[in-house]
Amino acid sequence: MSKRVLCLLVDGFEETEVVTPVNLMRRGGLEVVIASLHGGVVEGRGGLRVEPDADFEELEPQTFDMLYLPGGPGVVELLADGRAASLAQEFYTAGKPVAAICAAPLILQAAGLLQNHRFTAHFSVHGELPGVLDERVVEDGLILTSRAAGSAVDFGLALLRRLAGEPVAREVAAAIMV
C-alpha cells in the first residue's frame, strides 16, 4: 500500500507550490489527496482553478502519512481558520512528517512546532519567524520546509525521498532531468 499525503488548499494558494510537489510525489507512487478546507473548487493566486480530490470534512486525517501545506496569500486564511495548525500538531504528535513551503511555516509556528527545529520560509515572512534560515530546503526531524515556488522541485523531491526512499526520488529526478 502506498504512502498517503494530505495537501490542504484554500483560495489564494501558490500554484507552483501545489502542482510541482504533488506531481513529483504522484510520479513516485505516493497517493496525494488534495483537499479543500472549505469545499469545492479552489482558486490559486494566479487564477488557476483546482478541483480538489476531496473536501477536508470527508477525510480521516489519521489515515495519512504526511501533511503538506503549500504557501501563498491563502496562508492568512489557513492561520485564521486554525484547523491546519491543529492538524499539523496531530501529525507531529503521531510521529508523522509535516511539510510547509513559502509562508506556510507560519502555520507550523502557530502550531508550536518550530521551536528547536531548523527551518526556512519565504523572505516576506522572515520578520515573523525568528531563526529562519536562508536555505532552499530544510529537513529537521519531522519538520520539512522550503522557501518558495522557486524551490518547489527540490522540495517535491525531498518529500518524495522522505516517504518513498532515495532510489525512487532519484528515478523521478532523472525522468524530469534534474
Residue 123 DSSP symbol: G
Are the C-beta atoms of 40 and 7 separated by less than 8 Å?
no
User: What are the residue numbers of the active site?
Assistant: 102, 122
Taking alpha carbons only, the member of 115, 32, 129, 21 closest to residue 75 is 129
Q: What is the CA radius of gyration of the chain?
A: 15
For 130-140, b/e burial (b = at least 16 CB within 10 A) is eebeeebbbbe
- φ, ψ at 42 (rounded to 5°): -115, 140
Q: Which three cell numbers stand for residue 7?
A: 495537501
